[in-house]
Amino acid sequence: MVGTILLDKYGSAIVYRHASGIMQPIVSVLLSVHNGGEWLRESVQSILGQSFKNFELIIVNDGSTDCTDSIIHDFIIDPRIVWVEQEWMGLTRTLNRALGLARGQFIARQDADDISLPKRFERQLAYFVKYPTTVMVGTHSRRIGEAPVEFRPTPALEPDEIRSILHDRNIFCHGTVMIDRDAAGEELHYNDTFRYAQDVELWCRFARKFELRILPEALYLYRISKRSITTLKLEEQCIYTALAIEAGRHKFCAYPLNFTDRSSMLRNLSNEARKILCRVLLINEAPRLAANFFPIWHPARLALRFMPSRGLRLMKKIRRLFCQI
């Protein structure tokens, strides 16, 4: 790497940039990885294979102990790669660090185990041109891995429709989004009190001020595996999502969020947050977990606990009970 790589320090992190890297990229792609070597190579290749070429890919190795660093090393010859090595910080603070290093006007996300289809950046940038007052553009995604789901296209939503839906649930896949950094201004940062659902908190904050859109094409493949946060930390993720949505409704967060244990967090949930949490858990196909947040006397609690099917029909029936909570 001698003679081709520039080494710098950014806080406590070490940053490797290619000496002949792109001076002013249009897009900065943020990819945080912690022990994600299994799928990282495929994920990085999907970014480097984009039809739109003027970007930098900032890969932050967040304290990995597997083969992650050797995989990143294999790609550093590409001048668009920026490699950051750091001790573990967690996703929220890592993304804020990557934002501080980014040089592009547009900020795109990519998760270390997911895949962006080749036309993703090209199509998203064209969408910004088509809707010049838009600050963030997501895309549809298809689920792959251990629980693949057939993609069903839906029509494009207007910003007011998206804003209304975000009062109830998250509809953006974090890895799909692209944000106009100049238009977002000081709002473009992740709230580091959110260990999970930091993306939902950002969308809800954006939606109060900006136009958000979802490009109605599946341009991203979202992987579900036994090691993904969605699987391992489902309940915690859903709790933070509910708090982010409630905070977005009221324009402030009434929770300190630095709870020492799960039980103290649950004791402090408002009735409104519990309702949102039930919805979020059901959307994530976790009816038995959702049952814990209904009042003990509520018939939905019994239905969720003892009806064995997790099919769509059951989910729709139970959702109708929310207005009675």
Q: For residue range 141-167, what is the model confidence (pLDDT) as tens digits?
A: 998 877 655 555 667 899 999 998 888
Mean pLDDT of 114-134: 98
Q: What is the pTM of this model?
A: 0.81
Mean pLDDT of 90-115: 96
Q: CA Rg, the chain, in Å?
A: 20
**Quick one: tokens of 283?**
């959307």
Q: What is the mean pLDDT of the chain?
A: 81
Q: Which domains does the chain have, with CATH numbers?
A: 5-224 (3.90.550.10), 233-324 (no CATH)
Across-strand partners of 5? 18
Q: Report the 10 Å Cβ neighbour count for 88.
A: 13
Contact (Cβ atoms closer than 8 angstroms) between residue 136 and residue 206 = yes
Q: What percent of the chain has pLDDT over 90?
A: 51
pLDDT value at residue 2: 43
**Quick one: tokens of 212?**
């958000």
- Burial-class residue 316 by CB neighbours within 10 Å (0-12, 13-18, 19+): exposed
Please check the confidence at residue 84 and state whether its pLDDT lies above 80: yes
Q: What percent of the chain has pLDDT over 70?
A: 69
At residue 30 the predicted structure's pLDDT band, cuts being 50, 70 and 90, is: very high
pLDDT value at residue 224: 81
Mean pLDDT of 94-104: 96
Mean pLDDT of 50-65: 97
